Each structure stands twice: as C-alpha cells, then as structure tokens.
Structure 1
C-alpha cells in the first residue's frame, strides 16, 4: 500500500503510480470518508489534477515532495482559497501563498484544500468551529483535538499523507496524540509564518502532521529556511538524522509530579513508554517539572492573551456574535491587562527560562506525555474551558521557553484511546528529537493513523535530502575511500546510502588515471545491477562538481533498484572500444578488490 510520503514518492519515481492518479485517489477518499467537517474548502479537483499532470514533465528526483497531496490548516494562506480561521465573518481570499505553502509547491507537493480548526486557533479540542466538529477516526466519541483538528484527522483517516497545522500552545501535538499520528512542532522561526493568521504572533509556528517521523521531517526540510518578509524568522538549519544515539539522557519528572487527572491507563502508558526508551539505550534522569508548570500558567493567566485579542479586536467591536462564544470569552480577557502586568510576566518568564536552561544542561531532551488524558466530545461541550486547559498541561509552556517538540504515538490503550509522548529540547535540536522519535515509534510497531496500516520499515536515517540538496549517484573513483572521493567531501558532500542500480547497466574499466569505470545504460532489465553510492550535494556544490566531470564521462539520469531516479555518472558509448566489460563484478569496488 502507498500511504506514507516515502511510499508515495517511491511509487511515483518508479512509475508505478502517477501524481495525477494519487491526487484522484485523494479526492475519491475525501468523498468516501464523507465528513464535511474535516475540510472548510477544497480545491477544484480538475485544477488539482491538471497541476499533478504537469509534474510529469519535471525531474522527479529533484522534487522532494513530487506529487504528494497536502492539506493546509485554514489559518494559513493558499492562493485562491479563502482563509477563514474558522470564522466566516473574518474570511478573505489571498492572492498569494504563504511562504510555507509556496515552498511545498516548489518541492512538488499538490495542495488539496483547507482544513477545519478551533476558531482563530484558540483551543486544543477541535469543537470550537461553526464548520462542525471533525469526527475522530480512531475513536468516534473522542474529540479530534485542536486547534488543528481537520489537519490531524485528514492524515489519520488516510485522506492525505501530510498536512500543515499550527502550534502556539499545543495545537500541533495534542491532535497528533488523539489521532495516533506524528506531530512535529519545529523551533520557533524555523518555518516562516508569513501568510499565517496570528494567534500569539511571538509564539506561533507552523507545524507538520504525518504518519511517520521521516515524513514529517521531509516536509520540514522543504519549508525550513529564513524568510526576509517574516520578522520572526530565524536561520535554523536542519541537521542530519542519525541512528538512536548512545548515551542520550532523557529527563523524566520527579515522582509525584506528573498529572493524569485520575487516568490510570494514561499513567501506565507513560511508564511503559519511558521503559521503552530505556530499552533503546536512553538514560532516564529525573528533573523538576514544577517550573515548567508555572511557565504554562503564564500563557493564559498572563499577558499573551492580549496577542489573541489584537488579532480579532476589530471584529469583537463590530460583530462580536460572529465569534464562537468560548473563543470570545477567552480572548476578550486580553483587553484587560496593563503594561505593568506585561513587564512583570516578562521578568518572571526570563527567570523561568534560566531554570529551563539549567535543566537542559543535564539532559538532552525531556520525555513527557503529550496530554494527560483524553476526553469525549460530550464531556468537552459540557465543560469547554476546564477540560481544554487540562489537555494543555504538557504543551502550554513549550513556545514560551523556546523549545522544539515532537509528538509520537506510544500506545493504543485497551479502551481504544490513543496515547502519545512528546520529546522536547531547546530550539535548534529538531533533528536530534526526530532521531530519537523515529526509533521509538518504529519500536512500538504500532499501526499508523486510524486505518490499522502497518508502519513501513525504518529507512537508513541519512537517506533524505535537506534544503536545496541534490542527490548524485557515484559509481567508481568517487565512492567512499576511493581515489576521488575527496572531490565530493571537499564540496560538503554527504553520503546518503549505499545502494544498487536497476538491472539496466553494463560496467567497463576505462584506461584513465586514476582508474575509473564507465557505466552504460542498455535495454531495461537486460543488464546488471551495480553497487553504487548515493550522495547529497547542495545545489551550488552540485554545479561545481558536475563542472569537474571529464569526458568520456557525463552526468545523466540513473535508475535505482527501488525505482527511484537520480543524477549520476554515465559513459559515452564511443569511449568503450577496447574497454573491458567488468559487469560480472557487480560494481567498481569489487573489481578493484580482485586486482589488489
């Protein structure tokens, strides 16, 4: 089945499925799912199919999200689709994409539509919208989680493999837990917020929902870049994923500090998750959680509610009934604070940030429940503010303390309620969290989303491209440890993986100094599979590297055994007169070894 981003990309690149077919399947699934509360607006299907079909003429290997369908939370601008923030009276139609959406499109993604949310991104429950309440596909009586309700449900239900949410106080993490998916909350400023309707502008970030950590990181890699039009943008380069690191120290709260509101099943699931991390090799280190709780209280008891008020104060004045009553009740309090209150809160926050710095001096990351428990829609509607607040117990402090976070599934409880944990670390450690989370999620062997779909095998952690990197296949003297490998490493080249070509090639030993092979493409499946390496170079370095390639070698498109294609070394047929056919060795390294 092709459900994850990685599986869809592999199918597209191998020609097993076209982007147009994938997009058509997406719209068919949305119709079959038949929940009008998931999407507030959909693109015209004909337009989306035409955009997908236009990808056929582009280089699939050069587009990291080639033909991948994406849903976008309806407080993020998509050109030509209304941005409502779940408030019809607020709606406008933007002429241009938000920066994040523009970067997704440039990477080959196909935007499908705009998803439902708690109005003005105020809420963690997903029930505060005039467009309805998306049904939780894991357990129908549960709230879907908010504010990014529609985005999380769309991924969990298998409608799209990837979606954008936002996360100011947990809106990218709580829905991930309640829908048994991954929620990646990047470092503040890592993804541009240009084109995002603010909730709290100093704390907002665009987040990612996916079925696996690797899929979420693939989207983050495309969007993570400084943006001159966003004054809150920061240069936060995404590091490389690694295997589960040795000696990693995970902070767990001191005994008695965790709060589950009487939910014994959630408490047991957290204990089991901590034990799983220990089994994977982490050292569990106790820390004091109380300062983090105090920070969380600042978010809604302090002046940051005034930021929410700023966004909608004109609408509050002109048409207060247009705003959801719970959203209105929470937001209107932002008009009451004084400048003195604001500075007092800022001073206290700065002190709490210093406490957090000391905590992270002794641990690499914190391990916490994503949420302490789960509630039904009926329960939340009966007590909308208190129960919402409880869901934010472990999320509200994160952006105030400038942390990055990754929410991953940990268990499906005996009562069918999903439970998840969140890893937290100081800003800039996004890849480190992903390296931990991907190994943990794979170890759980949980199905992904709500459809009981098995997790795909965990790929080599370095096999994805970052930023503007381009993959290149090397065949001979540029292989690791070979005579010309320094030409790659001196340009910042990064080994992605050792792999094989499709069985479409012959390999010849050329008369060159230093010795090099020439790989020739022949009729499909009529040749041999060759051992090769896949390297990553930045776009600028790729250009410089290609300029160094001497004749009779050239750079062409090489088909790999798994169906992917990438640029790599080929030889001009005219240069092969008298050259020895060494295809029987299956690669240059084996040939050179027998000569030694």
Structure 2
C-alpha cells in the first residue's frame, strides 16, 4: 500500500497524474472510496454503494486498456439511480418500481469505454421529481457541508458523492434544475449540456422532451473532459442531437436582471449579499454587461409545473402510480397526479406549446452571442423546514432554474463564494443551445476572477524541481502531500551545471556557475506558502532551496546544490535533464 495521502477532492487530473507515475492504483482509490462511503453511511448518499466485489470486473478490465489512450482510465464516477447500469437495479428512488437493466445507459457505456469505473447508484428525489433532496424512501441526502441543510435535488446523492470525495465526477439528470441546484448547495460545478447533446437512452423519463443527463465536477475543465466522452449522436435515441464539442469562448454580452431579485429561506439576506458580491466579480471580467427584464424567463419557468408539461410526467409514470396507490412518496405522488388534471386537455397542450414557441423566439433574438447570469438558487433551508412546507420550498428552489430546458438553453452552475459559513452560493450561466462555448468561456473566466480576488485565497510560491520530485519519480508523492500542483515544463538560464550526486538513490545537484554552464530542463510547481518552509526543512545537504534563474531571466525558489558537492560527483550537464539520465 502506498503512503500517498489521498486528497478529499478527487480530481480527474490528480488521479491521472498518480496513475501515470505509478504512485497509486485504481484498487487503492476504490478502497478509499468504499471506506469513505461507510463513514458517511448516515448521509444517505448511495442506494447501491460501491463494493470491491461489485467493481472487480471493471478493475480487471483496466488491465486490457491503455492508460495513454483511455481518457478516463481508472476515474471513478457515480450514477444517479434513474440512469441504467447493466446488472444493477434501477429504482428511480422507488423500490417497487425497480428493474434490472440488461445494458448500460448510453452515457454510462461511453464512460466505461473511456476507462472510467462506475461506482454504484446514488440517491435521488423519487422519480426525479423535486429539487430538495428529501423525497426518497432511502433517506434524506444530507448536505455535504452542513448535514442539517438540504442537499438539493433531484440529483442529491450524485452531487454529495462528488463533494464528499466519493467520486471524481457523477451523473445527474436535469429537467427543472436537478443538475444545477445540488451543485450550488454543495459547492460544485453542475454542467447541463444542450438538450440531446448527450443521449438519454437508458434514463427513466421525467419529462422525456426536456430531460437531460448532467455532470457534477469540481471544475469547468473536468466537466468538459466528461463531455468529450459523453457527447454525440446515438442513432437509437430519438431525442439525440448533433452538437459540436464546446470549447472556451467569451460572449460579446452578459445579461443580468435589471430588477431586484427575490431571495428566500432562513439565509435570504446572506444570499442577497452573496449575489451582490457575485455581480461585483462579474464586473471584473471586463465584458459588456446589460441589464434586462427577466419576466420572459419567469413566465417560461411557471409553465413547467403550472402548464401541461406535468402531464408528460403522468404519461410515463401514471400507469405505475395508479396500479401502486400509496407506494410513492406522498408529495411526489401529489405532484405526479396533478398531471392527470382535467384541465390538461389536448387543446391546452397546443396552446402552451404555441405560447412557449413565442417565448423561444424572443429568447433567441435576445441571447445571440450572449450569456445570462442568475443565482442558481435564491436560498436554502434545513431539512426539517422543508418537511413543514414541501411544496412551497421546492417551488422557490426552481424560480431561477425551471425556464432552462423549456427555452432550449444550455447552462453551467458554478460556485460563487459563500452566503454563510459552510453555506455555498452559486450562479448559473445560460446560453442558446448551440452556444455552449460561451457558458464555458464565461464561467471559466469567472472562476479565475473569483480565485484571484478571493480574500480566502491561499498564498502560494512557485518551486523549481529538477530531480526525484518531478512527475513520474519516486518523490513526486511528497509534492502532492505538501499540497503542490504541477504548473509547467521549464528550462533554466544558460548558467547551470548538473551533477549526479553519489547518494542512494542517486540525485541531481543543480549548481549555478559564474561562467559557462548550460540550460537545464526542470518543472515548475506551485506550493502553499505555509507548507513551503516545512518542505524545505526536509531537504538533506548538500541540496537546499535557493533562487533558480529561468531562461526568461526571472528567478523562483527551487532545488539548488552547494558548490562543494561538485567534487566527487559525475558531471551530467550534457544530458540536459534528469529525465534523460
């Protein structure tokens, strides 16, 4: 067993770097995830939790795949339990509804083909009907940061699994906001692609015409890595569409609501302050901002549950609900049965469709080459408070999300600070379906702004590394243990000699020369400043920390060697890099 400390945040990049350097194995990662899932069992994250027996097939399969050509090799991911995983029951949050899939959902299969490991099935608001995370017979999923608060739904377990370090990414679904609200409440990125961009075959329908598979990650970059494997037409899926893979591109315009927004719940004032702080950070992006009337989006949001689309849910689930009276969560059944109301006539469906089509026209004209930004949600509650008012709180949760799929928009929810201690706040970037580039570019820039201007930003220092601490060498793990991250490849100024010290194991020594010398290859890492002193204290003589001059003339801290060590050491300057020894 390796002694590497596995970080709480499981990022795709960290896992890939560790696997490439052969410093950790997928089996060790899975065992740690299993341990974490057992420790968090009372948080009701999983319906089918990960086990080594269940995952042995996928771990063995990795031996037949090439790490270099499998983009998600060994990356563990969680699956909302309304998405099929072959051989594992799909319950949609209702045990009586469960069935055993004979094949994977298309998006799950694509992850597995890319080398990812499907961990198990996560908890959800029953039948993906709810935005609060409390409507499940498998228990209420706790918030990842404050257990008394709601986790958000319906993709509650998927979001909390990622936030608690039990998956590197997780699939959710999104009809009314279920792939975005849990992201905001658990300090994650929630990426909702354009409708049809990811196939929905193998997903239990909520509203089939509006359903979308989504992903929870810790960054835009990692969401796009999942997107690259998930995206593309599936010829057997009638809802599948051909959209190009998005990249980072900035919009010409950012829209914000011109009237004050409503906030709600016990943290309403804190959420309002967090929204105002987010606007100030948006202004630092130096993009054109225009303030617009939000009414058209609010009207579209109201249609989802007040209009005939709720009848689409009933069309799929009505026969089961009718034949299993009293089995479902009472609130869920009430919502679903509203779809059978006599007011939802064929004429009302077409009337609503025509009204929505006009809204789409207005939206399309407005949002050409632009993004709109809103709070992902305007508040939160404790789980006790939601139980007292399950319908009202859930409705408020969807105020700023429900319009998205009806208006055929793409969206990405990103962290935007905290409303209160351990109470994350998030915003969502919206764009037209074909403009996913814009939400990705704008959200990525916003995250960069947030990090650069955050009062909580961790002070760091760059470190030049030229030997056993480089990637792929035995002491790389020490860099990670001290919180360092790789930044770039680099070369020194043409002033250095590199010697091979007579130690066990052999180590390089970098000596700056008054005359002569060569340019030596090295790596630049970034390390938290408060860890740097402890790290430097571990370095044995004749090595130490000093200033290393780079090829552009700048100087950064890095590994250097005292000049006396040249005596008795082998001069290996000519090889140019320790990686060539």
Aligning the two structures, in what range does the TM-score lie when normalised by the shorter sequence?
0.7 to 0.9
Tell me if the contact between 2:149 and 2:383 (Cα under 8 Å) persists in the aligned partners.
yes
Q: Does 1:61 align with 2:59?
A: no
Distance 1:16 1:92, change over 3 A: same
1:50, distance to aligned residue in structure 2 (A): 4.6
1:327 and 2:339 aligned = no
Unaligned 5+ runs, structure 2: 1-5, 462-486, 492-505, 509-518, 524-571
Aligned equivalent of 1:397:
403
How much does 1:454 deviate?
7.8
Change (3 A) 1:10 1:380: same
Cα separation, 1, equivalents of 2:36 and 2:264: 37
The alignment yields a C-alpha RMSD, in angstroms, of 2.9
Post-superposition shift, 1:414? 3.0
Secondary structure (helix, strand or coil) at the match of 1:421 reads strand
CA contact (8 A) 1:19 1:67 kept: yes
**Structure 2 Cα separation of the partners of residues 22 and 78 of structure 1:** 21
Shift of 1:190: 0.6
User: CA shift at 1:350, angstroms?
Assistant: 0.6
Runs of 4+ in structure 1 off by over 4 angstroms are 452-457, 497-501, 528-532, 581-586
Per the TM alignment, residue 100 of structure 1 is displaced from its structure 2 partner at its CA by 0.3
**C-alpha contact (below 8 Å) 2:312/2:339 kept by paired residues:** yes
Q: What's the offset of the Cα at 1:369? A: 0.2
Q: 1:142 to 1:36 in 2, by over 3 A?
A: closer
SS of structure 1 residue aligned to 2:405: coil
Give structure 1 stretches of 5+ with no counterpart.
447-451, 458-496, 502-523, 533-580, 587-596
In the TM superposition, 1:194-273 aligns within 5 A as 194-241=201-248, 245=250, 248-256=252-260, 258-261=261-264, 263-273=268-278
Match of 1:425 among 422, 426, 431: 431
Aligned residue number for residue 418 of structure 2: 412
Say whether 1:150 aligns with 2:157.
Answer: yes
1 CA distance for matches of 2:293 and 2:305? Answer: 22
The 1-side partners of 2:457 and 2:163 are apart by: 10
Q: Aligned equivalents of 2:16 and 2:336: distance in 1? A: 42
- Alpha-carbon distance, 1:160 to partner: 1.0
* Residues 101-149 of structure 1, C-alpha deviations (whole Å, 9 max, x = no match): 0000011100110001000000000101111011112111111100001
Shift of 1:261: 3.3
Cα distance in 1 for partners of 2:252, 2:386 equals: 38
Q: TM-score, normalised by structure 1?
A: 0.74
Residues 224-373 of structure 1: pairs in structure 2 closer than 5 A: 224-241=231-248, 245=250, 248-256=252-260, 258-261=261-264, 263-336=268-341, 337-361=344-368, 364-373=370-379
Q: 1:55 to 1:341 in 2, by over 3 A?
A: same
The partner residue of 1:112 within 114, 119, 129 is 119
The answer to whether the 8 A contact 1:252-1:368 is kept is yes
> What SS does the corresponding residue of 2:443 show, helix, strand or coil?
helix
Residue by residue, what CA displacement relative to the aligned partner does 1:11-35 show, whole Å, maximum 9, x if unpaired?
1112111122111211111112223
Q: How does 1:417-566 map to 2 (within 5 A)?
A: 417-445=423-451
Contact 2:43 2:147 in 1 (8 A): no
Q: Specify the alignment match of 2:86 in structure 1.
A: 79
- Name the SS of the counterpart of 2:143 in structure 1: coil
For the structure 1 residues 233 and 274, does the alpha-carbon distance in structure 2 shift closer, same or farther, using more than 3 Å as the test? same
1:24, 1:49 within 8 Å by CA — same for their partners in 2?
A: no
